[in-house]
Amino acid sequence: MFLKLKAGALQLTMFVVVVIALLLAAFILLIHTHKTFKTQTDFVIETVNNADKGIHHALNNDFRLNDTISVSLNDQDYKTLKVHQDYWGLFKKVTAVSKIKTKVFKKIALTGTAQPEINRTALYLQDNNRPLVVVGHTKIEGVVYLPKQGVRTGNISGHSYYGEHLIYGTERTSSQLPKLPLETHEQIKSIAHIYKGVDSEYFLDLNKSRTYQNSFYSPLQVIYDPSIINLSEISLTGHILVQSETKIVVDASSKLRDVVLMAPKIELTNYVEGTFQAFATKEIIVGNNCKLNYPSALVLKEENSTTEVVGNIKETPFIKIQKGTKIKGAITYLGSTKNYKSQVFIDEGASITGEVYCNKNLELLGNVYGSVYTAGFVANQSGSVYQNHIYNGTIEVDKLPQEYIGLPFKNTKKGIAKWLY
């Protein structure tokens, strides 16, 4: 006996089979998509992690400047990691390029010297067979390297020393001033010639636009003028070099971020704010109540021809920081001419959070929250010049954040000052 089924039941059965087949196919496709997505996600994460490995490889290993090296990953051939090292201003710039198949990730960082965890140097005063003399409300706190003659109190215009201790910290004996690496000197010297190797298409015209932004992943852009450059009501960000053969004047209306300035003379008017590096050969003048954020740098490297004769008086290069100004970063003076004047002058009420390096004379009336390295001090008071005197100046290294990354001294641990964009 045969059971007769209606044709509609067969259609329903076929429909159910098709639905089940579609669901199974969708499930299989979902699993495959999930696995593919996970693989791609793992590749992206690994690519980023490898780029970090490249940056840290550069921090922990020395290799030639402007070289691109391959870092071994001990893995499949389709994974590569390359690291390039050059300079941006005073800091080394490390670029890591990580690639896994079609996934590419790049990272760029400014690097310098990391702070030691203990026994940080507050002052290193070169031994010139003359003691350090502290006067007024001077305060030096931290590890201090002094000449064999040590430290004593002094008197300027009736003002003696008012502190309870001459040094608030550990005293050690100094010798010659620690030197910056030759590579750093060469880099500072070479900045003046960088623009010559830049194609004309990357030169910017301030008459066409007052706002420029350039990523550090892109080629260098240059603003160049043999005459005076006035940076007023202008915004510059990123991988941009501003160079004058005469002078650069930065107005408070300007907005400068991570750019480099190069000129024989550089002047910042009152109330300038920004984050940038300035390089000069004759003078750097920073006006009142300016604010330069980390990691900024003011660098003057004297050239043999930079000493000018005004009247019958030789004018030597100098850096001058005026009242109320706050700078977070490094101030560096590298000169060959020495007299009884101050080559670096930090006025009262001014503060430097970072490092001051002067291989000639420093006059400190303000505050340094960090480290000072100098060949000598001077105090110009009441028409007289007092050698190796500090009058009302403050040096406190413990107020410098442990995360600070600064000047590239030899045989020191490296760190990341800033991630670039």
294 CB contacts (<8 Å, ≥6 apart)? Answer: 275, 328, 329, 353, 354, 404, 417, 418
AA letter at 157: S
312 — pLDDT class (breaks 50, 70, 90): very low
**Span 348-386, pLDDT tens digits:** 999 999 999 999 999 999 999 999 999 999 999 988 999
**Span 16-64, pLDDT tens digits:** 888 888 888 888 887 777 676 666 677 788 999 999 999 999 999 988 8
Residue 39: its pLDDT value, please?
Answer: 60
Other beta carbons within 10 Å of 66: 8
Residue 197: its pLDDT value, please?
Answer: 95
Helix (H), strand (E) at residue 177: none
**Span 106-146, pLDDT tens digits:** 999 999 999 999 999 999 999 999 999 999 999 999 999 99
175 — pLDDT class (breaks 50, 70, 90): very high
Structure token digits, residue 24:
């199974």
**Span 182-213, pLDDT tens digits:** 999 999 999 999 999 999 999 999 999 999 99
- Residue 285: Cβ-neighbour burial (10 angstroms; 0-12, 13-18, 19+): middle
**Average pLDDT, rounded, for the chain:** 92
Measured CA to CA, the distance from residue 28 to residue 38 in angstroms comes to 15
Mean pLDDT of 218-245: 98
Residue 12: its pLDDT value, please?
Answer: 74
User: Residue ranges per domain, the chain?
Assistant: 7-114, 121-401
Mean pLDDT of 173-178: 96
